[in-house]
Amino acid sequence: MTRFHSHRLRSGRYSADNQIYLLTTVTHNRKPIFNDVVTGRIVVKTMKHLHDLNRVSSLAFVIMPDHIHWLLQLHTEKLDSIMQVFKGVSANKINHHLRQQGKCWQSGYHDHAIRKEEDLAAVARYIVANPLRAGIVASIRNYALWDAIWL
């Protein structure tokens, strides 16, 4: 079913230099591989690496058991290129850690370009509150796989 709709995720996609995006991508078959904190930390390190290389500015993220939300600002690279590198690098490291082969991520991702009038700190709070809304933790302090530059 996801494969059937993945082409619609790309429809109308446009990457703009310095644009801020909220990205969501899910694991292959929505397998909850990030229940393992070590696997989740691999994703965090991959995001940080892209940030440290100045390919993006990572503003906020949360790693949920079977998906991620990532608020980032593009620099000069296209969104598809960033996501291809992110998914490829993280999948290789996750597969190595889990001693497995195959897909870690579903194809495609959802992106939302943040408008200038949107409150970025409020978007970040909404992102990091996902574990609370999902009932995973009672306090975000008890969840290890999130960060935001404002919080």
- pLDDT at residue 36 above 70? yes
Phi, psi of 123 (to 5 degrees): -65, -45
Residue 133 to residues 8, 52, 63, 127, 139, Cα–Cα distance (Å): 27, 30, 14, 10, 10
Q: Stretch 129-144: mean pLDDT, rounded?
A: 97
Superfamily per CATH, domain 2-148 = Transposase IS200-like (3.30.70.1290)
Identify the H or E element spanning 43: helix 37-52
The answer to whether the beta carbons of residues 91 and 83 sit under 8 Å apart is no
b/e 104-114 (16+ beta carbons within 10 angstroms → b): bbbebbebeeb
Amino acid at 103: K
Residue pLDDT, tens place only, 59-94: 999 999 999 999 999 999 999 999 999 999 999 999
Per-residue confidence (pLDDT) for residue 1, from 0 to 100: 42
| pLDDT class of 2 with cuts at 50, 70, 90 | very low
Q: Stretch 11-31: mean pLDDT, rounded?
A: 86
